[in-house]
């Protein structure tokens, strides 16, 4: 799906704009109370309100709350979770964003304004490419193969973890770190390209941009 055709998801009160395909939610991390209330509503909507599903709901709520707490503990400010890639097509994936500092290895090239070179020095195991927005990003890929289910019903499960490191859109003296977790995918390449597109769309809006967006929707 192209970026032009994808819906736009705004998080952090309109400060961050991300273009994503399918159905995603932004889990609020401002306070434990907001996160808990949101997650309970989300799980009830997704799992269903029936009494026989109470245990499943509790387990799902506990797992999501634990993930949210872990995210906050490492400084995550944006937590996006995918529900569907397309109507009726479940797609379990999460995108976490947090601000970071440049590693020491990037220092000399960073001082020269060579951000692509700084990323290569800092993340030699990654692939550095210039995004369509003009900013370079280093992508590190980690794949793991496992199984879900037991016995004859067991199926192979492919899990992909992507890490993107890039100059922060608002201040290239800092970094933006984006972590993607996608489970139960049939193959890596098309989904890696999909997340490349999503990460390429990340933009931090300033006050003027946010005012214009609100005026346009009024």
Nearest one of 26, 192, 182 to 92, comparing CA atoms: 182
Separation between Cα atoms, residue 167 and residue 1, nearest integer Å: 26
pLDDT bin (cut points 50, 70, 90) of residue 215 is: very low
d(CA 94, CA 86): 16
The pLDDT score that the predictor gives to residue 102 is 96
Residues 6+ apart with CB under 8 A from 2: 197
* pLDDT confidence tier of residue 169, bands split at 50, 70 and 90: confident
For residues 101 and 123, give the distance between their C-alpha atoms in angstroms, rounded to a whole number: 13
Spatial separation of the C-alpha atoms in residues 22 and 210, rounded to whole Å: 24
Q: With a cut of 60, say whether residue 25 has pLDDT above it.
A: yes
Residue-wise pLDDT tens digits, 38-67: 999 999 998 888 989 899 999 999 999 999
Q: Give whole-number Cα distances, 60 to 23, 53, 155, 157, in Å.
A: 18, 11, 22, 20
Name the pTM for this structure.
0.81
């Amino acid at each position: 799906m192209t970026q032009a055709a994808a819906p736009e998801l705004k998080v952090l009160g309109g400060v961050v704009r991300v273009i994503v395909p399918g159905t995603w939610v932004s889990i609020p991390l401002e306070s434990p109370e907001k996160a808990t209330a949101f997650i309970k509503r989300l799980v009830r909507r997704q799992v269903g309100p029936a009494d026989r599903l109470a245990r499943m709901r509790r387990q799902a709520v506990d797992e999501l709350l634990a993930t949210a707490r872990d995210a906050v503990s490492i400084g995550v400010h944006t937590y996006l979770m995918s529900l569907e890639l397309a109507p009726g097509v479940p797609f379990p994936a999460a995108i976490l964003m947090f601000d970071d500092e440049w590693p020491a290895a990037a220092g000399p090239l960073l001082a020269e304004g060579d951000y692509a070179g700084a990323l290569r020095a800092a993340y030699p195991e990654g692939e550095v490419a210039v995004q369509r927005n003009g900013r370079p990003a280093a992508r590190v890929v980690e794949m793991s193969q496992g199984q879900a289910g037991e016995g004859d019903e067991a199926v192979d499960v492919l899990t992909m973890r992507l890490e993107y490191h890039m100059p922060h859109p608002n201040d290239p003296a800092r970094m933006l770190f984006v972590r993607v977790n996608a489970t139960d995918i049939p193959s890596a390449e098309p989904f890696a390209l999909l997340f490349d597109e999503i990460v390429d769309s990340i933009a931090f809006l300033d006050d003027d941009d946010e005012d214009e967006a609100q005026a346009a929707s009024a």
